[in-house]
Structures are given as structure tokens and as C-alpha cells.
Structure 1
Amino acid sequence: MKKDILIWGAGAIGGTLGAYLLRAGYDVTFVDIDEAHVAAMNDPQQGLTISGPIDNFTQHAAAFTPATLLKAHPDTRWSRIFLAVKSHHTLIASETLQPFLAEDGFVLSVQNGLCEKTIASVVGKARTLGSFVNFGADWTAPGQITYSNRAAVVVGELDGQITPRVVALHQDICHFEPDAILTSDINAYLWGKLGYASLLFAQAVGEVGIADSLARQELWPLWRELAGEVVAVGRANGIALKSFNGFNPEAFDPEAPLSLSEQSIIDMVEFNRPNVKTHSGIWRDLAIRKRTTEVDGQLGEVVRIGAEFGIKCPKTEGLIQLIKEIEQGKRPQSDCNILELLEK
């Protein structure tokens, strides 16, 4: 048997996107490792509820854990698998989902970080597509996701070709985000998100929200350095980073005028200020869910690739250390952490 869309990871990103596609009439199946979340989605009295200022609706979804999917659908293959797990779970998830992928199908990474290479190492580069997402959503309880704000959504082939399958995918994604972009340079957006993510990881070590953190003028030199390290590594790797939702990579070039970086920071503050989602998902991982963040899969990759080009990333390395100390319970989340990083 062959089916259409399998959402692997039904949290904030996968759950929101999948719910919209399900509502639009697509054949969507969900997989998640959280048994309570899976049970809630399958419960006729509950289902998967998307709530918040953007939309409010409930979809009754077919959901499984990886183990129960194998029992229920041992011979079923999916044409499109949307992978939406945390970056550090990419390899094991790719290996687990591979038997469910149709020979002529593909895996779409709907993740933060540079996960496409890992996916391709398992299912093949020809069966891997990339996407960039920046919308705000939070998993709040089993069967419950808060969709807080619209933002950039981009899809593309890894080699930049505009193929029939990516054109069709883009049209389908527009049921969720009408302004979704079809790009011939998905890596430029993925690296742009890494630059922005460096600021979100910094916000996560403190207490105040994204807009309030970015708006602190005494920290603007730090934002310039952090994002600047990502921009430098990306460019050394041949990537011309793309702008989105106020983040302008050009503004964080070491040679860029201060006025340009200041304007980009102001634009990011203005974009984030109205959002119901005040704190990053990284902050929630540390403060509320008490779990490991994606710091190794995102900023760790920046440091690793930078080393290959002889580029040092001292602020990024310092931020990674702060995140790990918080994860290990050795350091509380405090705005003092950001000031400490500024002074290093």
C-alpha cells in the first residue's frame, strides 16, 4: 500500500504543518515518540488542536509511535515524509523512517539546522529536500499546539533545481503558509536561520523574551559578533545568506556599518514584539521542558565548519558552553549569563 504524507515528529513544527494539510484534505499520518501525544491525537474526544491568535481548530489524526506504526503498517510506504524532529535526533529518525519511504518518494527536512546532509546519508541525496521555517509554535500538552505567529516558510531542492516535485510541494505548503517561497538556493536560507538562531540561543540563557533581549542596546555589540561569526563561516563555505523577518545577514558582516546592523536589530525587535510567542523554543527546552537543546546540531555545526576554514568562533563557543552548563544544571538561566558572554 502507498500513502501520501507521513509527518515524522508531531511537535510544534510537524504538528502545525500536518494539521493544516490534514484540514486541507491531504492524506496525512503522524508519528511521534511521545505516547501521550499520540494517544491524544487518536482520541475521538480530543484530537490534535491548533490554537492561538492565528487559528483555532481540531483535527482527528491517525497517529502512531515508531513501534506501533511498524505493527499497523508493515507494508505501507509513503511518498513524502516530512521530518520534524530535533536536529540531534536526525540520524536515528532517518534510519527508523527509511523502511516506510517509497522508492520514488522523498524526505523533506522541516527542521532547524543543517540536517539535510544527515538525511541524505541515509535515504540518498536524490530523495532529500530542504525547507526553512520561522513561524512561531509551541507544543504545550498532549494533543495541544499553540500557533503564535506567521513567518517565512521556504522549500527547495538541495541542488537548486526547480523540479515538478518541488513545485507541487510548494503548492501544497501554501495551504499552510500562502506566502511560502520556492527557492533555488535553500542553503542560503538555512544558513540565514543559523545566524538568527545564534541570537535565539543567546536569549535562551537569560530570562526576558526575544524582543526585549534583542532590544537591549548594551548587547548590540554581542548580537553583531554572534551573528557575524555565523555569516563569516557561511560565506567561507560558499553560502550567500538570505534575509528574512528582519534578519539581514549583510548587516552582520564585520565590515558593515554599525547603522546597518542596528537597523536589522530594530527590524527583528519589531517583528517579534507583537508575537504571542515571546520566548524561543530553545528557552522553553531549558526552562519548561528541561531537556537537551539543539545547540550541537546548530551552533556546534557552525564551530565545526568554521574550524575547517580556519575561522574561530569564540562567542559562539562561549554560548555553547553556557547552554550546556544550563542543561547540566550547573548554571541557572539568568540575564547575567548574556552579560558574561558579552564581556568574554
Structure 2
Amino acid sequence: MRPRIAIVGAGAVGGYLGGHLARLGHDVTLIDAWPAHVEAIRSQGLRLTGLEDSQNVTVPVPALHLSDVQSLSKQSPVDIAFVSVKSYDTVWATHLIAPHLAPGGFVASLQNCINEPAIASVVGWGRTVGVIAGTYSGELHAPGEIRRTVPLGGTQRVVYAVGEPHGRITARVERIRAMIAEIDSVQATTNLWGERWSKLCVNVMRNGVSAASGLSGNDCDRDDRIRRFSIRLGAEAVRIGQALGYALEPIQKIAPEGLARAGAGDAAALEQADGVLLATLAAGQRSALQRPSMGQDMLKGRQTEIDQINGYVVAEGAKAGLAAPANAALTAVVKRVERGEIPARPENIAGINA
């Protein structure tokens, strides 16, 4: 019998995965805070598009607004709840779905940042799993429409990773892995925390600079000053992650130690890291429409996750006795843009990276 699945947060990440699981016949209910999005899914289905026409599909799937979640009490309990809201909404979102979990049900964080501790504070560590969308990128383009902006992983790269906080490969990890494998490339990992911090390093390099500059992901990489600054950001995050004891994975195809040296001014390492980022740009592996999630939030006038990404690196660095001046400076700039004190523009990054 297939598990009953709830997706709390049916945006670019949760909605994409939930929609495709529903397409494959899984018992999925989407839950979201945006009334227009919920109504569009109810009336027209969820439209999922990719970089190729063969990836475009409209899926009928049940959708609930937050105010309707209590109706789940009249249905079968939820076996797997994927929480895919913004990091600052994690605790209340977990509280929202927790009463509807089956006795053996659990919650999986399908989010940026490191939110397993927040989920565990509500349901306990024994009911907490991590799912990392490592190389996925997409956007909630319009109500009821989610657009993927990077290719499928295939045999070229692993897009998703699933792991337990304690590092063992369990039956439930394998169950989620098998479900996602029908959609995209995925692996079960014994290194959830190292994978999480490595993805955090990617977000540190890409999200805040897009939000502060107003540029797309590709345009950030085309700008020499922004690209070099992103390397500094990633280098600080790597050194802090190493100090905290995480076993880091390659970050945007760059070895962690090489990235750290590049950000510290090692000329050879910087040339290599720069070359990797430029090669990815030249290969056209991201759509011209791709914009990191924080950049999307800024355009939509929404609260960003700057405190949970670059600001989190600064805070964790302080615990380890390491400063992260580039991340601290970017955090301050993004907050100024967020408050409307300054516009998003490339000069914001140039001013930091002088």
C-alpha cells in the first residue's frame, strides 16, 4: 500500500516534487498559504514545466489552503509529510501537520538551509528526516504553474539526497529514495549534515548576491566582481563547516578545500574555481530564466531567508571562533534592500567587494 503524503508548502520545490509524485499515482495532498495558487490547482490542475517539452505536464492533485488543513482529520492519517516552506516558517508548519501524522508517520525537511533541528523540536528526532534538493532549481511562475529551470540529473549528477540525522540508511530513507528515483536522480546518504552544509555553501554563493544585485543566476556569474565575491562567500562557509566537523561534498563542482583556498587569495585555486563557474555558465546548464530563490523573493516583495543562509553562516562561525566578514556584509546589504532603503543593483555587491 502506497503511503499517504502531504506536502506543506507547494511552491517551486515542494510543489514540483509533490506534483510529480501525484502524476505517478502516489496519494498526495498539497498544502499552501497562497489562496490563488490553491484555487488554480483545484480548478485547472498543477502545471509543471521543464527545459524540454517532454517534461511539461498538468497534474490533477488535491490542494488545501492552510485554513482547510483541519479537514485532514476526517481522512486517513499522513505517513510522510514533506515540509517545504521557507525556513522561518518551519516550526509553525510542522505544528500544523503534526496532529495529522500516522503513528509511524514522520516529517521530511525538503528545504534550503538546515531545518531538521526545528522540525525535531516539534515532532522529535525519531520522526525527522532530511531531503536535499541539491542541484534542483525552479520557480513558482504563476498560480498553479511551477517552472523547472535546470535539466534533469540523469546519469550526469545527483539532484536529490535523502538521509537520517543519525546517518544510517533506514527503510524509510530507502522508501523516499525509491519514490524520488521515479522523478529524478537521487541517492540515500549517510552524510546528511555534510550534504546539508555543502548545499548551504551553494546557497551562500548564489542566493544573497542575486537578491542584492537584482540579477539572475547566470548574470551574477557573468559579472567578474560578483562571481569573485561569491567565491569569497563560499570560502568562508567552507572553513566554518570544516571547523564544525562536517564532511563536505563538492560545491558547484569545486572541491571544498580548493574553494576555501580560492577565497583566501590562492591565485591557482582562484583561477580553477573561477574556471569551473564560467564553464558551467558556458555549458548552458541553467535556463536564462533561472533566478535563485532569494532573488525571486526580493522581486515579489517577500521576506528573504538571508538570516537562515548567509546570516546563519555568520552565527555558526561565531560559535566556532571564525569570522565571516563577506557573509556579514552581504547579510546587511540584503536587509537594506529588503527594507526598501536601497534598490537591488549590481553596485551593491561591487561596494562590498571593493
Give the TM-score normalised by the residue count of structure 1. 0.92
Match of 2:333 in 1: 322
Code of the residue aligned with 2:204 in structure 1: it is: S
CA distance in 1, matches of 2:319, 2:143: 42
Q: Post-superposition shift, 1:155?
A: 0.9
CA distance in structure 2 between the aligned counterparts of 1:324 and 1:115, rounded to whole angstroms: 21
| Offset of residue 262 of structure 1 | 3.2
- Equivalent residue, structure 2, for 1:137: 138
For the pair 1:205 / 2:212, whether they are aligned, the reply is yes
Matches within 5 A, 1:111-130: 111-130=111-130
Give, in whole Å, the separation in 2 of the partners of 1:245 and 1:316. 18
Residue equivalent to 2:57: 57
1:224 corresponds in structure 2 to: 231
What are the Cα deviations for residues 94-143 of structure 1, in whole angstroms up to 9, with x where unaligned?
11111112221111111000011100111111111112113111001111
- Code of the residue aligned with 2:291 in structure 1: it is H
For the 8 Å contact 2:228–2:274, the answer to whether it is kept is: no
Unaligned runs of 5+ residues in structure 1 are none
Change beyond 3 A, Cα 1:256–1:129: farther
> Could you tell me whether the CA contact under 8 Å between 1:215 and 1:265 is conserved in 2?
no
Amino acid of the structure 1 residue aligned with 2:190: S
What 5-or-longer segments of structure 2 have no aligned partner?
Answer: 154-158
Q: What is the Cα deviation at residue 28 of structure 1?
A: 0.7
Structure 2: distance between partners of 1:11 and 1:213 = 24
Match of 1:164 in 2: 171
Name the CA shift for 1:290/1:101 in 2 (closer, same or farther; >3 Å): same
**Are positions 1:265 and 2:263 aligned together?**
no
TM alignment of 1:1-344, pairs within 5 A: 4-43=4-43, 46-54=44-52, 55-71=55-71, 73-74=73-74, 76-133=76-133, 134-149=135-150, 150-151=152-153, 152-177=159-184, 179-200=185-206, 201-254=208-261, 257-272=266-281, 274=284, 275-276=286-287, 277-287=289-299, 289-343=300-354
- Letter aligned with residue 91 of structure 2: L
Asked whether the 8 Å contact 1:195–1:249 carries over to 2, the reply is: no
1:65 Cα deviation (Å)?
Answer: 1.5
Question: CA 1:77/1:316 → structure 2, altered by over 3 Å: closer, same or farther?
Answer: same
Structure 1 residue 272: Cα displacement: 4.6
RMSD: 1.9
Residue by residue over 1:147-181, the C-alpha shift from the partner in whole angstroms, topping out at 9 and shown as x without a partner, is 1213521111111101111112111111111x212
Matched-pair contact (CA < 8 Å) for 1:116–1:128: yes
Distance 2:171 2:197 in 1: 25
What letter corresponds to residue 50 of structure 2 in structure 1?
G
Identity of aligned residues (%): 30
Q: Deviations over 1:15-56 (max 9, x none)?
A: 11011111111111110011111111111xx11000231410
Structure 2 CA distance, aligned partners of 1:146 and 1:169?
Answer: 23
CA 271–34 in structure 1, closer or farther in 2 if over 3 Å, else same: same
Q: Which amino acid aligns with 1:137?
A: G
Distance 1:181 1:258, change over 3 A: farther
* Matched-pair contact (CA < 8 Å) for 1:194–1:298: yes
The Cα of 1:257 is off from its aligned counterpart by 4.2
Structure 1 residue 260: deviation in Å?
3.1
How many correspondences in the alignment?
Answer: 338
Query: What amino acid is the match of 2:191?
Result: D
